[in-house]
Structure 1
Amino acid sequence: MDERRVAVVIEDDEDIRSLLTALLSQSGFTVHESSSGLEGVQTVRDHDPDVVTVDLGLADIDGFEVTRRLRVFSDAHVMVLTARTEEIDALMGLDAGADDYLTKPFRPRELRARVEASMRRRRASARPVSVSAPSAPSSASAPDEVAAPLPATPEPERPAAASSGTGAGSSLVLNGLEVNPQTHQTTVDGQEVALTPTEFLLLRSLLASGQVVRTKAELYRILRDEDPDQRTFVSQADERTVEVHLGNLRRKLGDDPRIPRWIQTVRGVGYRTPARVTRGS
């Protein structure tokens, strides 16, 4: 493969570490292994990987702390692995800055699929986001805890630059928020906000979609670099992942879901922006 592919496996179980290394190597990655959290953080710093797998149950510092430290300097796709059955552990990993999670024992095919999706996203990060009008939402989409009603207004226009596919490098601007797809920078009222790659992609996708409502399933398909309207299967756990990422995104932006400036929840449907997005220079 011509593209650069580097991975770091942070896992203290030798058998699982060997399995992960073999799976990633078969997928074309140069893999660096670490058996402890502190060593793993340094390995990531030394090799600047595209993908990092982190076991939550490490002996020295746990995977939550490893992930928090990685997010200070790395934009790698971080996937946490947990043998714990409680969903809260995986969600805490996402809260710490992880992009995705898998529960042990995992299926090798699923791991490869998620890793390949992350690599497609990295390649596609400079491309325009698809903003075709979504179909009727799936009934599997669960409502959020705080939701704004959907006004009875005609379907809004989509941003012209986004729908035409031109001007993909232009900034997206809304109510003091500016998202620059070229530099991957986000600012609120002129102050830069550090986002994970997943948070950035979700925010960019919502702004590009404007007032067109996106369901959790559609947003997760975007994370998989699929057509959001493709109707491929999205599990409730995947939708919950989107929900957690959006919660983290709102917290970092300082967006109050009761009076949203940028991310509005439409009860039982999904998410949209509360006002029309404009294009910067």
Structure 2
Amino acid sequence: MVVEDERALAELVGTYLEREGFEVMITSDGVDAVRLARQADPDVIVLDVGLPSLDGMEVCRQVRTHSDAYVIMLTARTEEVDTLIGLSVGADDYMTKPFSPRELMARVQAMMRRPRTGVASGQTAGSVPREPVRTFGDLDIDGDGRDVSVAGVPVSLTRTEFDILLALAREPGVVFTRPQLIASVWGPNWVGDAHLVDVHIGHLRRKLGDEASRGRYVRTVRGVGYRMGTGR
């Protein structure tokens, strides 16, 4: 779904997507976007920040209450605070206008290669090993159910936040660099700012109640990257 009030840009993005075999719906209105997202359950939403009736930030916030679609936000604003706000309401990625449609297609394709559930694409639940529930102190991570809790209290994560946490939890003794996390979560063909990882890690820590200075659950290894903490 393309949500963009600049008609020419919306049609251009839609054309590129259709050439790649995607079924595309286009709307220029924020309220309509929330309704369509609920009805059609799209895999990916390309969402402009500046929309009439309901801006992209609020659209994303409302969509996240019922949809796990990947969300790429488009913004004409370059200030870092706008990026942070967009990701904090549940966006997975962002692009600043003007942008290359080919780069947007590369990001969409990389997202579509990520499974929508804990089961790998093209496989049935019975054909792959079950994910064990991983525990780090008070933190429990259920890979199959995609559930996370701290001290028994459920924690609501975006799909990208969960995927980052699970990637780290699967190899708790391994330090992941940003490029390694990107390859694991976004896919090896993803293009964009590697510091996007840091923003998602920051939101993940906040939701887990994990102070960066302590790193109980997600620990920073200075000059290298991130690894799982012990939970203590």
| TM-score, L = length of structure 1 | 0.74
Aligned equivalents of 2:190 and 2:112: distance in 1?
Answer: 20
Structure 1 position 241 matched with structure 2 position 203: no
Write the deviation string for residues 186-229 of structure 1: whole angstroms up to 9, x where unpaired: 12222221111100100001111202111122112222223xxx
Shift of residue 167 of structure 1? 4.0
Other-structure match for 1:266: 221
Structure 1 position 191 matched with structure 2 position 146: no
SS at structure 2 position matched to 1:258: coil
SS at structure 2 position matched to 1:121: coil
Aligned equivalents of 2:75 and 2:7: distance in 1?
Answer: 15
Shift of residue 116 of structure 1? 0.8
- Off by >6 Å, runs of 4+ in structure 1: none
Contact kept in structure 2, 1:213 and 1:272, CA below 8 Å: yes
Aligned amino acid, residue 171 of structure 1: V
SS at structure 2 position matched to 1:30: coil
| TM-score, L = length of structure 2 | 0.89
Contact kept in structure 1, 2:182 and 2:190, CA below 8 Å: no
Structure 1 position 18 matched with structure 2 position 11: yes
Structure 1: 5+ residue runs without aligned partners? Answer: 1-7, 128-165, 227-231, 277-281
State the identity %.
Answer: 44
Aligned amino acid, residue 76 of structure 1: A
Match of 2:181 among 174, 198, 219: 219
Other-structure match for 2:125: none
Structure 1 position 62 matched with structure 2 position 17: no
Structure with max Cα Rg? 1
Shift of residue 53 of structure 1? 0.8
Aligned equivalents of 1:58 and 1:257: distance in 2?
Answer: 35
Structure 1 position 126 matched with structure 2 position 119: yes
Contact kept in structure 2, 1:91 and 1:241, CA below 8 Å: no
Match of 1:205 among 132, 150, 167: 167
Other-structure match for 1:275: 230
Shift of residue 107 of structure 1? 1.3
SS at structure 2 position matched to 1:259: coil
Superposition pairs of residues 76-225 of structure 1, within 5 angstroms: 76-122=69-115, 125-127=118-120, 167-225=129-187
Shift of residue 123 of structure 1? 6.0
Structure 2: 5+ residue runs without aligned partners? Answer: 121-127
